[in-house]
């Protein structure tokens, strides 16, 4: 016979987090959607889907059962097949069903297609991040394929379906297709011009031989890859190609996966090392213009990195707020303890600004084709926003984890998984130094547009806090010989001003508070050190509706 108190499993523990409308409970997000005229009702449905207990548990299962590479079958035949757990396939089916892989390009959304898709991506990553790698790459690859209209027209009907088809067979026999990419090589990394993979012309196609050090989502139906063109007819040089997993005759292409990366996080997603042994491919864009061809793709993936990182911070903070509202310590709920309130509200303030910033950037991307000023904003701010948001993620998630005490550090709860995932987006598509240097490059190539963009940001941000001294410091460094050495200072300073400007544009009650606590003279580095005064309860309630 057991004692009564042992039968009570709660023991002052918070209940399981689940069955939450991740859209409606997140006021900074729902406010941004309303501000840009998005379909709030449809997005709330997505918020309930990704916030359901069942979906959140799928994320756990997919990460506890990582993919396995099978290079040969039982008879020794080469198959290069990656096996995924059914939970991963269910997440893929769900996110493709929501159109996150292609809806920004298919004309189904007339009011802010990039921004609407950004909301869905932000929600999806809160349930599970790894499966979004092929989703993001499919979305971004469409941008690169536009430089080869005939090729895009051939593939687009399969890409734009809302049907996930994981079958290992030629893309033209499937109900839907996904795209991946392989750009970096072991000897070059970020310096893709150092690539040594070669593409030899064979009539209407090329055959590629070489390797890629990172090629994610190896079960995609085709991959954008970079290789040195060896035709000689047009001068050769680094060129972009689309390489399907199966040749046009239906036979398996000469793509040989060497191993899957054993990563810190992102466990549900397969990232591979690969060799090409005369693999069939078609050219995308002009020969020798590989970097120029993939630029739009890179910008889209960088935007996704920032959006997804904001979503990762949001789910971690939501879990923390949920916990501290239920857990009692010293006769008070943790949420009512002054020190805990200071930390959680400070985290919520950071998310207020970063959510406003990433959706302001998505809005600019929506209008870049028709508005030169929005194009200049997107060009200059994309690397800066990625720098700030993605590099903030590990600290925000760690502080959220600490709110749960020792429980947060266990694998029974998802905070440990979030923390392992946190550094990835800051590294993917260009690490911090690369982002900072890309801001300098954008400023150098478009000086007039850059100064116009910065001037407008400063004017707007100054309505919330006097950013004049910081703006002057940034300008002085930019014009000096020290710009590259101080590139990170320039990059973060620009992003912080843009975040404040985004709050001012949103008519946020917290713009001045953000400016004072992030850009003021008394700003310390740790969350919970800022004096937020009476704003604390409102910030916490906006972060996760009570």
Residue 3 confidence class, pLDDT cut points 50, 70, 90: low
The answer for residues whose C-beta is within 8 angstroms of residue 256's C-beta and 6 or more apart is 71, 78, 80, 274, 275, 276, 277
- What is the pLDDT averaged over residues 38-50? 98
On whether residue 3 sits in a domain, the answer given is no
The answer for residues whose C-beta is within 8 angstroms of residue 78's C-beta and 6 or more apart is 71, 72, 252, 256
User: Around Cβ 65, how many Cβ atoms within 10 Å?
Assistant: 16
One domain for residues 64 and 180: no
On whether residue 111 sits in a domain, the answer given is yes
Give the dihedral sign, CA 273/279/285/289.
positive
The range of the structural domain enclosing residue 214 comes to 171-289
Which pLDDT tens digit goes with each residue over 74-105? 999 999 999 999 999 999 999 999 999 999 99
On whether residue 10 sits in a domain, the answer given is no
One domain for residues 264 and 307: no
On whether residue 105 sits in a domain, the answer given is yes
Which residues face 259 on adjacent strands? 273
Which pLDDT tens digit goes with each residue over 387-424? 999 999 999 999 999 999 999 999 999 999 999 999 99
One domain for residues 281 and 309: no
Name the maximum alpha-carbon separation found in the chain.
87
One domain for residues 399 and 539: yes
Instruction: Please return the burial class of 501, using the count of CB atoms within 10 Å of its CB with bins 0-12, 13-18 and 19+.
Output: buried
One domain for residues 271 and 317: no
What domain count does the chain have? 3
Where a domain ends, among 159, 187, 213? 159
Where a domain ends, among 138, 159, 180? 159
Which residues face 210 on adjacent strands? 276
On whether residue 16 sits in a domain, the answer given is no
**pLDDT at residue 10 tops 80:** no
The answer for residues whose C-beta is within 8 angstroms of residue 483's C-beta and 6 or more apart is 440, 477, 490
On whether residue 385 sits in a domain, the answer given is yes
N-term to C-term CA, the chain: 39
Where a domain ends, among 233, 257, 289? 289
Distance separating alpha carbons of residues 361 and 365, to the nearest angstrom: 6
Which pLDDT tens digit goes with each residue over 189-244? 888 888 999 999 999 999 999 999 999 899 999 999 999 998 655 568 999 999 99
- What is the pLDDT averaged over residues 278-293? 96
> Which helix (DSSP H) or strand (DSSP E) does residue 202 occupy?
strand 198-202
Instruction: Please return the burial class of 311, using the count of CB atoms within 10 Å of its CB with bins 0-12, 13-18 and 19+.
Output: buried
**Mean model confidence pLDDT for the chain:** 95
One domain for residues 244 and 297: no
> Which helix (DSSP H) or strand (DSSP E) does residue 284 occupy?
strand 271-284
One domain for residues 336 and 430: yes
On whether residue 509 sits in a domain, the answer given is yes
Residue 1 confidence class, pLDDT cut points 50, 70, 90: very low
Give the per-residue pLDDT at 6.
Answer: 54
């Amino acid at each position: 016979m057991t004692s009564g108190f042992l039968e009570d499993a709660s023991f002052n523990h918070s209940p399981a987090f689940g069955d939450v409308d991740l859209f409606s409970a997140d006021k900074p997000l729902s406010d941004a959607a309303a501000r840009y005229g998005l379909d709030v009702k449809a997005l709330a449905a997505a918020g309930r889907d990704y916030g359901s207990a069942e979906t959140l548990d799928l994320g756990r299962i997919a990460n506890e059962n990582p993919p396995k590479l099978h290079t040969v079958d039982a008879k020794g035949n080469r198959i290069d097949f990656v096996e995924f757990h059914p939970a991963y396939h269910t997440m893929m089916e769900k996110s493709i069903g929501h159109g996150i892989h292609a809806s920004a390009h298919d004309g189904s959304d007339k009011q802010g297609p990039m921004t609407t898709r950004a909301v869905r991506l932000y929600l999806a990553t809160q349930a599970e991040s790894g499966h979004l790698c092929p989703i993001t790459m499919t979305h971004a690859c469409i941008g690169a394929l536009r430089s080869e209209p005939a090729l895009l027209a051939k593939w687009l009907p399969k890409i734009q379906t809302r049907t996930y088809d994981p079958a290992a067979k030629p893309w033209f026999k499937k109900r839907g297709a996904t795209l991946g990419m392989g750009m970096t090589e072991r000897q070059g990394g970020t310096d893709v011009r150092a690539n040594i993979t070669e593409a030899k012309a064979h009539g209407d196609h090329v055959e590629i031989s070489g390797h890629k050090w990172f090629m994610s989502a190896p079960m995609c139906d085709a991959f954008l890859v970079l290789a040195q063109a060896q035709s000689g007819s047009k001068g050769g040089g680094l060129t972009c190609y689309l390489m399907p997993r199966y040749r046009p005759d239906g036979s398996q292409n000469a793509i040989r996966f060497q191993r899957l990366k054993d990563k810190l996080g992102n466990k549900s997603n397969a990232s591979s090392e690969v060799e090409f042994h005369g693999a069939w491919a078609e050219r995308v864009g002009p020969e020798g213009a590989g970097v120029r061809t993939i630029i739009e793709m890179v910008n889209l993936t960088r935007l996704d990195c920032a959006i997804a990182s904001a979503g990762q911070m949001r789910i971690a903070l939501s879990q923390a707020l949920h916990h501290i509202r239920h857990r009692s310590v010293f006769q008070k709920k943790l949420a009512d303890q002054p020190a805990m309130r200071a930390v959680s509200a400070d985290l919520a303030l950071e998310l207020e600004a970063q959510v406003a910033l990433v959706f302001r950037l998505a809005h600019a991307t929506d209008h870049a084709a028709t508005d030169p000023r929005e194009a200049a904003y997107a060009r200059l701010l994309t690397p800066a926003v990625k720098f700030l948001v993605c590099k903030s993620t590990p600290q925000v998630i760690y502080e959220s984890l600490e709110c749960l005490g020792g429980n947060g550090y266990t694998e029974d709860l998802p905070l440990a998984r979030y923390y392992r995932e946190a550094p990835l987006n800051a590294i993917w598509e260009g690490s911090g130094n690369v982002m900072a240097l890309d801001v300098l490059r954008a400023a150098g190539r478009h000086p007039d547009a850059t100064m116009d963009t910065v001037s407008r940001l400063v004017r707007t941000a100054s309505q919330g806090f006097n950013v004049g001294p910081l703006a002057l410091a940034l300008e002085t460094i930019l014009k000096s010989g020290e710009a590259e050495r101080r590139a990170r200072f320039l990059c973060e300073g620009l992003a912080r001003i843009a975040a404040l400007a985004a709050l001012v544009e949103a008519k946020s009650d917290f713009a001045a508070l953000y400016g004072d606590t992030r850009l003021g003279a008394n700003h310390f580095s740790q969350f919970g050190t800022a004096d937020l005064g009476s704003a604390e309860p409102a910030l916490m309630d906006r972060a996760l509706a009570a």
